[in-house]
Structure 1
Amino acid sequence: MAQRRVSTSTKWTEEDRARIHILGLNAHGILYGHSLGQLRARPPLTYIVPSNQRVLQLAMLNGEIEVIEGDDHYITDGFDVEACDRLPSGSLHEYPSTNHVRINTLTLPAKTKFDIKIEPQPNDSYAPYKGLDRSHGTSVKFNNDPSELGYGSGQRLVVESTPAERKISTADLVLMDNEKAKETLGPIKNLICAVDVQSVVHALQVNKHRLSRESTILLTEKGMGIMEMINEQVFPNPKTRPTYIPGVFSHAVWQSGEVNTNSDVLSEEIEAQFSGVEERVNQNSLAAKRWPFGSLLLGPVAAIEGETVKERKTRQKCANYLLSALLDPAASLGASCVSADKLLFTRLRDLAIASVVGPTTVRYNCNNRGIGADEERIAHVESRLREAARIVQAYFPTLTYEYLAQGLGNYLVMSGDRVNMMFKNVVSGRKSNIEWNNGWLVKQGRILARGGPSLCPGHEDDLVYIQDMTTKAALWLQEREEEARLTRAAQRPTEKQ
């Protein structure tokens, strides 16, 4: 029987092409949303979050997120939000749901009148890419505006609108079954992946049906081997694989409550985890603090084995819309396009530093700055950093121990008294990114050793230690939750009397 050919090309609406989805509402996700929300030609923005609690949280905050720089507070609103399948986590604070919740709070509603202008564009936003085509591909129109938005290479598009100010009400909440949600939610053209590396596979897997080869994904997760992991577990077919923009996110940004200057950090963090079990929605946590500087390095689109030059250029054009938004100076992301070598150099430098700081804070029960509190800790840090330098120098000889030590010192000054994210994951009984940092160093050390003694015995010890501590913390929290459940059950008959 003859087979019928079926087109795999996605049918994009004008809004689909313009909309940018942000996967994750953590500190990084908040900064992305705030930054893109400042653009003069602001695109429609949608947050994809892992639970109904997050949707309700944003609703209770009137759809507003906050970025704090010193004494300055910046409020941004006007986001759509969708709940997808819950990410796998050892956390006791979020529970699975059989329904999705969506809130429709677009800043640019369909009835808004747009003032569309064409102005001279003296600066080429894509200049760092040599020979990069400036064309966005098919022209994008907003909300069915009849005018064609085509413009020349020496011009830029300006879209102005007056947002409709209104409060979020319960009428904006829409409950739908999970399977129904998968059918009704539209395709994703532009995706910023702001989740942690340990969650990225599941987060992309549950949204895979909305992504296609014409989609673009920004990946800034820290560690090595991430794109290879995504290709293997989520998008194994190169012909249908989305375009990846690899990047390095180097902004000092954190959420409130991530600072601790006390010495006994571990016990306080674990106690905080347990005491928060009863708190299902935190109304005050969608705020991110940041230093007023930082950078976002954007590498060339990831190559796909076997593709032609024409196919590569087509994928580059698909990525231009998202790139232009990130590179816009109004976004204040400090974004720039760099070569693949520059991006790898920066990623390896950051990996070496992170592989030392995170495990050391857990081992010595301290915050970031505490890893240099005494001679024993300093000796431990030096030993681990020298091991990491042996590995990364195989890629770039300039990544010496002395260079990394200077970078580590700068990082500790920048990070202040914040509790390290690996520390917070461990005390929460959640998987951390140690497999993509220390685990990668251990694997590379074995390869370079060629059957000889391990080049990273200290990092191998840290890998086992962190995994063991994570398991112990998860069991401890489960036991405390069970005790609390039994206590509540015992009190119910008394309460009824």
Structure 2
Amino acid sequence: MRVHVLGIGSIGTLLSYHLRLSNPSTPISLLLKSQITSDSFWLDQGHSRRGGELLVLPSPPLTISSLGAFRFNTELLTHPTSPILSLLVTLKCPSILPALQTLSPRLSKDSTIVLLHNGMGVYEKLIKEVFTNEKERPRFILGTTTHGVRAGKEKFQVYHHQPEGTINGGGELVFAVVPSSSSSPSSDSLDQTLTLLTSLKNSLNAEVIPYEEIQPKLLLKLVLNSIINPLTSLLSIPNGSLLLSPTPIGNPTLLPLIHQLATEASLVLQASHPSLFLSDQPSAFGPDALVKKVLELAAATSGNRSSMLQDLDAGRETEIEFINGTLVEMGRERGVETKGHEMVRGLVKAKEGFGRGSAGRV
């Protein structure tokens, strides 16, 4: 079965690299948006000097993964018409819906789509606006990762943060099959896709878990992103600037706002997912616990520039609507105020607009 990968940013490159490494005989096609990207990819293939090597650097501890030396097929997003059985989507949230609308004629109930992205709400939009017929709808797998990855110096190359003492980056890569109310049995593409994903266990600590167990992981990542991403992007600072020092004691200027955003998110989740708060022990989704996790993540990724900051700097649409916007909508549906999240969402959207308005000016 051929696997198609849509989105070869940092995460897409990392996954494509390790899928090829773990499954040398599996055909893999990279779906590219333009002929320019395709030409650039093949030029990179012909001139790569480090493709395929794993180079572990002492400081900072990184692994370089490059697509350069591996054999991949490439397809333009709009050209081929052959069916797609297994599709791994690692695009930014705003790009997923239009891309899958383009690909929908090639997808069917025999297909499996893996969604791996920041934010939440993409799957719900897809089944509402693209794959509306449940009986003809592809099967879906949702994923989330805590691996630290950033773009490398060369095209189609990424740096994978590898803390000391770890052999797979120290992060996790978790997937879960979305339950289907359809009576159709598990498809061959679903079974084969799950086998491919679990082949990444040794390299990326990949695991398939029950759907109900992935929800807390998705929600926690949503909350952490809803605080770190907008604050770092609005202030144009790396993650570590949310702290006073490398220890997670918090920037006194930003800490009240961080606590407000965490408190609002916690109240939203109490209303929307009360099972997260049933234990007699303090919940991992309580305000203080969320603030602690935000500061720990900021310390662990202190030199990183958030994806939202990178999007704003590049004049791209951000994922703010799928991160803070999701929390705002969840709160609105349940009568929970989210003034802090509404504020940062509005500010990011405004900054986003300014960036686009200045694009191309001399």
Scaled by the length of structure 1, the TM-score of the pair is 0.63
Contact 2:175 2:207 in 1 (8 A): yes
Contact 1:190 1:216 in 2 (8 A): yes
Output the amino acid matched with 2:34.
S
| 1:27-61 residue CA offsets vs partner (Å, 9 max, x unmatched) | 11111111111125531111001122211111111
Higher mean alpha-carbon deviation, 234-243 vs 327-336, is at: 327-336
Contact 2:242 2:298 in 1 (8 A): no
Greater alpha carbon shift after TM alignment, 285-294 vs 37-46: 37-46
- Alignment CA distance shift 1:372-1:289 (3 Å): same
Select the residue among 416, 419, 428 that pairs with 2:302. 416
> Does the aligned pair in 2 maintain the 1:24–1:194 contact within 8 Å?
yes
Report the CA distance between 1:285 and its aligned residue: 2.1
Q: 1:323 to 1:342 in 2, by over 3 A?
A: same
Task: Please state if 1:463 is matched with 2:333.
Answer: no
Aligned to 2:319: 433
Partner of 2:253: 376
Matched, 1:287 2:157: yes
Task: Give the aligned partner of residue 337 of structure 1.
Answer: 208
2:30 aligns with 47
Q: 1:402 aligns with which of 280, 285, 288?
A: 288
CA distance in structure 2 between the partners assigned to 1:379 and 1:207 by the alignment: 45
The 8 Å contact of residues 28 and 253 in structure 1, kept in 2 or not, is answered as: yes
Partner residue in 2 for 1:236: 132
Moved over 6 A (4+): none
Residues 36 and 412 (structure 1), Cα distance of their counterparts in 2 relative to 1, 3 Å cut? same
Letter in structure 2 aligned against 1:81: T
Q: Does 1:314 align with 2:307?
A: no
* Contact residue 64 and residue 160 of structure 2 kept, 8 A: no
Partner of 1:250: 146
Q: Is 1:304 the equivalent of 2:180?
A: yes
Separation in 2, partners of 1:331, 1:203: 31
Q: How does 1:159-174 map to 2 (within 5 A)?
A: none
Instruction: Give yes or no for contact 1:69–1:290 (8 Å, CA) kept in 2.
Output: no
| CA drift at 1:347 | 0.5
- Could you report, residue by residue, the CA deviation over 1:204-229 in whole angstroms, capped at 9, with x for unpaired residues? 11111111110111112222221110
1:86-139 Cα deviation digits (max 9, x unpaired): xxxxxxxxxxxxxxxxxxxxxxxxxxxxxxxxxxxxxxxxxxxxxxxxxxxxxx
For 2:13, the aligned partner's letter is I
In 1, Cα distance between equivalents of 2:45 and 2:73? 12
Alignment correspondent of 2:116: 220
After superposition, the C-alpha distances for 1:161-198 in whole angstroms (9 at most, x for unaligned) are xxxxxxxxxxxxxxxxxxxx34xx42111110011111
What does residue 359 of structure 2 align with? 477
Query: Greater RCO between the two (CA within 8 Å, min separation 6)?
Result: 1
- State the AA in 2 paired with 1:391: V
In 1, are the aligned partners of 2:144 and 2:174 still within 8 Å (CA)?
A: yes
SS of equivalent residue, structure 2 residue 137: coil
| 2:232 is the alignment partner of 1:361 | yes
Which structure carries more helix by proportion?
Answer: 2
Contact map agreement 2:44 2:155 (CA 8 A) in 1: no
Contact 2:113 2:140 in 1 (8 A): yes
Q: CA deviation at 1:330?
A: 6.6
Q: Identity, % of aligned pairs? A: 22
Q: Cα offset for 1:432?
A: 1.0
Deviation, structure 1 residue 69? 4.4
Contact 1:367 1:418 in 2 (8 A): yes
Amino acid at match of 2:186: T
Task: Provide the rounded CA distance (Å) in 2 between the counterparts of 1:68 and 1:204.
Answer: 35
Which amino acid counterpart does residue 358 of structure 2 have in structure 1? W
| Within-5 A mapping of 1:252-267 | 252-256=148-152
SS in structure 1 at match of 2:255: helix
Query: 1:213–1:239: 8 Å Cα contact kept in structure 2?
Result: yes
- Match among 257, 266, 286 for residue 389 of structure 1: 266
Aligned equivalent of 1:70, options 57, 68, 83: 57
| Residue identity matched to 1:205 | Q
* One-letter amino acid of the structure 2 residue matched with residue 415 of structure 1: T
8 Å Cα contact 2:65/2:158 also seen in 1: no
What secondary structure sits across from 1:410 in the alignment? Answer: helix
Deviates more, 1:330-339 or 1:26-35: 330-339
Structure 2, gaps ≥5 residues long: 162-168, 245-250, 278-282
Q: 2:243 touches 2:295 (CA, 8 Å); kept in 1?
A: no
Give the RMSD, CA atoms, in angstroms: 2.0
Question: Are the aligned partners of 2:97 and 2:126 in contact in 1 as well (CA < 8 Å)?
Answer: yes
Q: Distance in 2 between matches of 1:355 and 1:70?
A: 31
Aligned residues of 1:195 and 1:221 also touching (Cα < 8 A) = yes
Q: Using the alignment, how far apart are the partners of 1:467 and 1:221 within structure 2?
A: 20
Deviation at 1:336, TM superposition (A): 1.0
Relative to the length of structure 2, the TM-score reads 0.85
Q: Is residue 36 of structure 1 aligned with residue 19 of structure 2?
A: yes
| Aligned-partner residue type, residue 158 of structure 2 | A
Work out whether 1:83 is the aligned partner of 2:66. Answer: no
